[in-house]
Structure 1
Amino acid sequence: MRTLVIGGTSGIGLEVARARAARGDEVVLTGRDPERSAEVAESVEGDVAGVAVDLNDTHGLADALAGVGTVDRLVIAAIERDHNSIADYDVDRATKLAVLKLVGYAEVIHTLLPRMNDESSVVLFGGRAKDRPYPGSITVSTVNGGVVGLVTALALEMAPIRVNALHPGIVGDSPFWSGKPADVLDGYVSRTPTRRLASMDDVVDGVNFLLENRGVNATNLYIDGGWLVT
């Protein structure tokens, strides 16, 4: 089985790639930089290759993915962190993120669709900012909401291939959050019903569930410890 992880050179994407390789999958992971993609792939135990893919280079995605063969499992975890308020709106940053996450995600799937089969499955990454916005999340909240619509449309058009999305909350041991001050993280923990933040292992478990459970389709899975009920 071949798993392709778009955005697999760091963070949660890398943990997904490691987990899939540990299951025995042939894994292809991608990042923007060809040298780093190859270096990270070399560091992961198993049958792992690295490919350079830039989701903002939408017209170049077909060429970038030309060497990837059949795809049984596709995970698109690539993200771009953005702080963009409506009072101080940066059109260039907003456009970059919108293209990456909506047009780029869709073009990757368009490119790979002929290489999938009826048993293939796809997981896209959104995020909780669509439901719990914060100052500066204008673009992040917008594109993560767009992922929900994208999943619904893809599941209809790609049937019987399954398409789902995973929306993480605050992932406490991720590279982005683990360096935050303890009092900041404690504040989030206190507002989380499980009294613990989601972990990267929790997210990887969620990805594997969506990839493998054949009864789950057009679903948005939230990994946040029930944060939204508080």
Structure 2
Amino acid sequence: MSKRTALVVGGTSGIGLATARVLRAGGATVHITGRGQERLGALAVTDAGLVGHRADAGDPDRMRALAEAAGPVDWLILAASGGEGLGAVADLELTMLRRAFEAKFWAHVTTIQAVLPHLAPDGSITLLSAISARAAMPGTAGIAAVNAAVEALVKPLAAELAPIRVNAVSPGLVDTPWWSGLPEDARRDYFARTAAVLPVRHIASAEEVAEVVALAATNTNLTGTVIEADGGARLVPLS
């Protein structure tokens, strides 16, 4: 991976940060973006090898300028996410659902357009979706639609942008700050109950999923593929 440049959007926490660390350990120059200066400042101390930028993935001018300065970008990884979109469809607040699309789907599309002129000809784009895109869990119709929209980009873009490769990784339950809205006791209880029915018998770490994201980004024979890194969650009923 030496002498390569990666741009990880949403790279200041969770799967994005874990992926940035994997790619950096392999010798790449890794740029990460985040919206919060406090977190970027902390990472400048703990992960001095990562190049941090304060940027909103939904701001095309900022993303374009960042990619131009960092480019050519070999591997673009889109780990931008949001915490909204959950709820029974009868009660789903549509304004909230629109915000969820802005935070993830539109952020992905905006960044792809902005960075594309600065991608290496043999580069790659890797998207992050989630198991909700193809699962049948009550109360997830909104967030499922967001993630399904992200996954729907993969095949047409892989054909349209070739030889640039386009893939996505679809995680299941991952122990990341995404769950911070749940009280600690409730989170531990839910994780324990879910782990007991998963075929792998544990909740994934961000590092486990990051290894799959790095593979999708760097393997030159992968394109047009959504890799399910869900611990077998799709094989069992989840609640």
In 1, the alpha carbon distance for the partners of 2:60 and 2:140 equals 24
Partner of 1:54: 56
What letter corresponds to residue 185 of structure 1 in structure 2? F
Q: What is the deviation of 1:38?
A: 4.3
Which of the residues 161, 165, 188 maps onto 1:162? 165
Richer in strand (by share): 2
Alignment of 1:188-227 (within 5 A): 188-227=194-233
Write out aligned runs for 1:69-108 (5 A): 69-82=71-84, 83-108=86-111
Identity of aligned residues (%): 33
1:174: which partner in 2? 176
| Matched AA of 1:126 | S
Distance 2:216 2:225 in 1: 9
Q: 1:68 to 1:39 in 2, by over 3 A?
A: farther
Contact 1:22/1:45 (8 A) holds in 2: no
Q: Which whole-Å deviations, capped at 9, do the CAs of 1:132-191 have from their partners, x for residues lacking one?
A: 2434322210011112211112111110011100010011x3234594444322221122
Q: Is the 8 A contact 1:42 1:49 kept in 2?
A: no
Match of 2:32, SS?
strand
Which runs of no fewer than 5 residues in structure 2 stay unpaired?
A: none
Please, which of 28, 40, 43 is the counterpart of residue 43 of structure 2? 40
Query: What is the aligned partner in structure 2 of residue 8 from structure 1?
Result: 11
Q: Aligned in 2, Cα 1:41/1:84: closer, same or farther, shift over 3 Å?
A: farther
CA distance in 1, matches of 2:59, 2:95: 15
Which has the larger displacement, 180-189 or 147-156? 180-189
- In the other structure, the counterpart of 2:115 is 112
Unmatched tracts of structure 1, length 5 or more: none
Distance 1:177 1:129 in 2: 15
Q: What is the DSSP-based 3-state SS (H/G/I as helix, E as strand, rest coil) of the residue aligned with 1:193?
A: coil
Residue of structure 1 equivalent to 2:124:
121
Q: Normalising by the residue count of structure 1, what TM-score does the alignment of the two structures yield?
A: 0.89
Deviation at 1:204, TM superposition (A): 1.2
Residues 1:213 and 1:101: Cα distance change in structure 2 (over 3 Å): same
Structure showing greater relative contact order (alpha-carbon pairs closer than 8 Å, 6 or more residues apart): 2
Query: What TM-score comes out, normalization by structure 2 length?
Result: 0.86
Task: Please tell me whether the aligned partners of residues 58 and 111 of structure 2 are also in contact (alpha carbons under 8 angstroms).
Answer: no
| 1:187 to 2:193 alignment | yes
**Across the two proteins, how many residue pairs are aligned to each other?**
228
Change (3 A) 1:80 1:176: closer
Q: Measured at CA, do residues 41 and 160 of structure 1 come closer, stay the same or move farther in structure 2, by a change above 3 Å? A: farther
